[in-house]
Chain A
Amino acid sequence: MDGGNVNVIDHLLPGKGVHPEYRKEATSGRSIERFPLPGVVHLPVAQNLGAPSKLKVKRGEEVLTGQVIAEAGGYVSAPIHATVSGKVSKITQDVHFASGKPVDVVLIDSDGRDQWVELKKASLKDLSTDDILKRIWDGGLVGMGGATFPTHVKLKPPADKPIDTLIVNGAECEPWITSDHRMMLEYGREIVSGIEVMRKLVPATVIFAIEGNKPDAIEKMSELASSSRAGKHVEVVAVPTRYPMGGEKTLVQHLLDREVPIGGLPLDVGVVVQNVSTVKAIHDAVIEGRPLVERAVTVAGMVERPGNFMVRFGTPARALIDHCGGPAIGANEVIFGGPMMGISQCSFDSPVIKGTNCILVKRNTKRPERGCIRCARCISHCPMDLMPTMYVQFAKAKRWESCGEYFIDDCIECGSCSYSCPASIPIVQYIKLAKAELRKVRSK
């Protein structure tokens, strides 16, 4: 039960990745509080990986909570729903929080009544697999661990790729974040129900992976899983507390000793990985008929009262940060996601969207970049066995193709290299640049 001991052992185990300071204790004891409805929600029309959604509402239209405001823009896409009831006050264009590209944003003025569309509950045994997939798609489900890959795509593997393992990802390896941890403690039943739904689509063995620093969640999920119908197919496994254990690829490697091929997906090696919050959302969408309009968000870092909140999408970060006692003096960076892979925001008003698991307020402490001393720490910490320092060298020389030859496409941008670089080189930044430039070169 002692998380501290687990950490010590993990430090001694050989392995790639890094051991950042976890600092989860700030919020791990805070239950998920329902966050008050915001007056206005800002809903970007691209909240998933793949094709952006297609706008369906007009200015001035009255909408209900859960009403579709944008349809899926293709198969690898998901619809977006109104997260409050009220009136569409404006449709504007803004900068997408992650890609930096312009995106349509729907502003809905809340009427404060939160009137829902009619929800169609269902019982799992009455639903065919197509019904289930349709309900998941209609529910606007995407991977809520941060990557926002549309969920229905993952759960309909092509016939030539048999799936033998379903991994439920409760590792939550990023420091500070505890939203998934709290979800497991507070919505365990819904998660188990979501596992049952998934097993109807993909009848495979389920491995429920939780990092060893969350013993209470391990205990709780083992208990709930064993008493459920899917019980005998579910194994709850404590994985080492080592970043980036929660990464899809690292998890597949650790649990099954399989490697997802470069450029491939876990289903290429017979695995489907779903984040715990997504699994809970699967239950909501399939059983309750409730579309995805909210998620658990950890607010942490330089705020007075950090905590976990169930937040409607479109709620501006500022509302949450103010609710938690505002940014502390000296804070100058707001990050959506964790400190290792999170994206720093250029405005306090960036809205919470489907992939936002954490709002981290911090002070930028980055040190100036120095020259590489070839210490090779980036190489020895790289979970993908790459040579990150070479990308820096190539990027400086604009040798983008050379980056490709050194397998830059395999990089998951976990940040272990920059984290461990004594010269404070922002290696991930160079890698992102090189990847973008390489794409341009290849598309020529």
Chain B
Amino acid sequence: MREPGSRIAFRRGAGTGFPHRLPAWSGNRVPASPSGVEREPGSRIAFRRGAGTGFPQAPFKQKDMNKTLLTVEDLTKSFVLHLIDGRTITPVQAISFSIAPQDHLLIHGRSGMGKTSILKCIYRSYLATAGRIWFTSQLYGRIDLVAAHDSTILRLREREIGYCSQFLRVLPRVSALDVICEPLYRQGWARDAAQEQGRQWLRDLGIRPHLWQASPVTFSGGEQQRINLGRAFIAAPRLLLLDEPTASLDGETKQIVVHMIQAAQANGTSVISVSHDLAALGPCANRQLALA
């Protein structure tokens, strides 16, 4: 950075705020690598509107219903336990399914059948051992989530794929308001606008205002789960992965969650949920996958 008022004249790079002089070290230029993925010049990322959020959106069209949003083909996930005699465990074997926009697929089955592993393979917290997961992205077109570059996955997580884990895991020094707003910060929202949105979600989720500046680590299990859910829903992703979303919630809050899922669906979000709670989620799911 040059000293303010310095006499050396710069031409500024367009919109970068960076001096466009040729520095001493720039003598040996080489062409940009063709492997770098570039966004189309002038292209804009389209968003969809979260319920009453004032969020910019590409309107959801009825014809999109005929398209497939996600196709899982012969998904297999094995864990090689190198520290325990190298044995292999395969909780998911050759699973295939697909979902369309606004679908809600409920995956259920006994514990240990690989329900959560399927969600984590889609979110890429787990690396699939075999198979393909095709996702129709607004940013990248049809893309295989198994083979996509890490940076592509991070971008998709910011913009298109949301995930709510079974347990909330956050830093003990971050307030509930900041925890719930984090996905909006990542999308580049201004802090004030994001927090206004976050406060609205906290109110809707029944979190009392005097808790908003406290860390969710100090909350009850049900309150933590509500924060966790709010964080997944707030950014209005196109695909929402929910792992036991109604676990540790009372009957009234379960109803709030069901309404949140239905509202998200109405806005074009597809939902894949994993749950044992068929009584609560069964009625709002239009498809079910039983693992046995």
Answer whether A and B are interacting partners. Answer: no
* Contact surface of A with B, Cβ cutoff 8 Å: none
* Contact surface of B with A, Cβ cutoff 8 Å: none
